[in-house]
Structure 1
């Protein structure tokens, strides 16, 4: 099995300014050795490290971690997609280690943020290099992401955390209506990750089951990619519990795809 969404950080180093002290459950250093100790006994054989800071230094540090552990199969880093030096920057990261993609942290930006034409050369550069765009978005960004996919039909896109839906009966229909058009694009996948963190304290973990079933039905097993979102996951759950919940919710005949094969398909630069 592959965990396609893991974070590590060292507070105050490598430009790490998040998480802040108010997030007490995760406000400490989180190192690669810790996630290996959690994941490997549960059958996880590889992980993708995902940036948590909008910083070149953070991404450089993550790439350095690849050499330290065969457990890391790739890095989804950060890059300024509007930079005039984007191609050289991507090439340097590819040469340094297994960069598999770049994440755009759009969740706190206006709904039309990814319509910015200044990003288009960077997005083309990703597609030209077989790199994937991870989109950290909320439901209000989904319509613009459709437009981005239409502008860049060769670009593989992964929607992180199922677009971070509000978990609850009143919001489900709006989210479902917004995300469904993305599922019609064959090069768009969805991360089965981050859902527990969107629940309210009084909601049980089972509150996310309808959302899991929905993205499985919409994207199918070959475009649904499981990830833990560790250690952010610890705000509302734990590693073993989230893995068990997801595996119970996905039919057994789709486990190989959702918990491994789909990650390799959408991140083709992953190392073996």
Structure 2
């Protein structure tokens, strides 16, 4: 089964989606499962993981409803307030939905030490009892906290989104490289090769720009802990779905792609490995 491990749906609202600035005007509209399904079919993708973009339980409900109505949505990474006093009850409520596979918080918008706060750590510690993973969404300056978070929770399954958003157009950053290597040594952490095209200046790029970054994450995590993600529709400000996919297909061998574009996501998110 071929899986896109990272994409979004939303009903556009200028308040809740205020992060979509003028440079991203082309995605200031609704994006629904009926928009994505033909794109996946055209590109030979069997299914996807829908990831939260708004930090509300109502969005988690919306994504779970989408998964219920559309079989190609194989799993949902939703949002729950991990620092709330009733976090365990809320996790239990949402975990009743078989399609809920993980939780994410938009940490990139938080202070650099956010993931080290005791309330957040307490919430993270409750995920494993419900079989839930955690997606780490950060900027490079938050990598130290990410390393500490993963080290402190060896029994929790984590995945790093968008290779931690390095500045692609500026070339290789030695600090990013070193910290990615440190993260790769932690076996309870996977990494999504996703979100790279939008980390370029003015969304201008060529395929060679990504090679050195793919070299680093592949060496750090190995092909058995990497997952392809399109980051659709956010990617559309910089590239078509096919162009994003081609970056990955042109870099990895067919044998490696079998893991990166399917087997690893199925293992990490506990998906049934069947086509369709």
TM-score (norm 1): 0.94
Shift in Å at residue 168 of structure 1? 3.8
Structure 1 residue 141 displacement after superposition: 1.0
Alpha-carbon distance, 1:271 to partner: 8.3
Structure 1 CA distance, aligned partners of 2:240 and 2:95?
A: 32
Cα separation, 2, equivalents of 1:218 and 1:131: 24
User: Match of 1:260, SS?
Assistant: helix
The equivalent residue for 1:57 is: 58
Mapped partners of 1:119, 1:41: distance in 2: 40
2:135 is matched with 134
User: 1:87 Cα shift?
Assistant: 1.4
Which one of the candidate residues 227, 251, 259 is aligned to 2:261?
259
Specify the alignment match of 1:81 in structure 2: 82
1:3-42 matched pairs, under 5 angstroms: 3-12=4-13, 16-20=16-20, 22=22, 23-42=24-43
Alpha-carbon displacement from aligned partner over 1:24-72 (angstroms, at most 9, x marks no partner): 1110100111111101121100100000001111111111111111001
Structure 2 spans left out of the alignment, 5+ residues: none
Aligned to 2:239: 237
Aligned counterparts of 1:264 and 1:20: Cα–Cα separation in 2: 31
Instruction: Answer whether contact 1:11 1:18 (CA < 8 A) is retained.
Output: no
Whole-Å separation in 1 of the counterparts to 2:215 and 2:59: 34
The answer on whether the counterparts of 1:74 and 1:271 sit within 8 Å (CA) in structure 2 is no
Q: Is the 8 A contact 2:197 2:205 kept in 1?
A: no
Please say which of residues 166-175 and 60-69 is displaced more in the overlay.
166-175
Q: CA deviation at 1:18?
A: 4.1
Q: Specify the SS of the correspondent of 1:43.
A: coil
> How many equivalent pairs are there?
271
Does 2:153 correspond to 1:113?
no
Gaps of 5+ in 1: none
**TM-score where L is the length of structure 2:** 0.93
Post-superposition offset of 1:174: 2.2
Residue number in structure 2 paired with 1:174: 175
Report matched runs for 1:210-225 at 5 Å: 210-225=212-227
| Change in 2 beyond 3 A, CA 1:244/1:203 | closer
RMSD: 1.8
Contact 2:172 / 2:213 at 8 angstroms: preserved in 1?
no
Contact 2:46–2:72, Cα closer than 8 Å, also in 1: yes
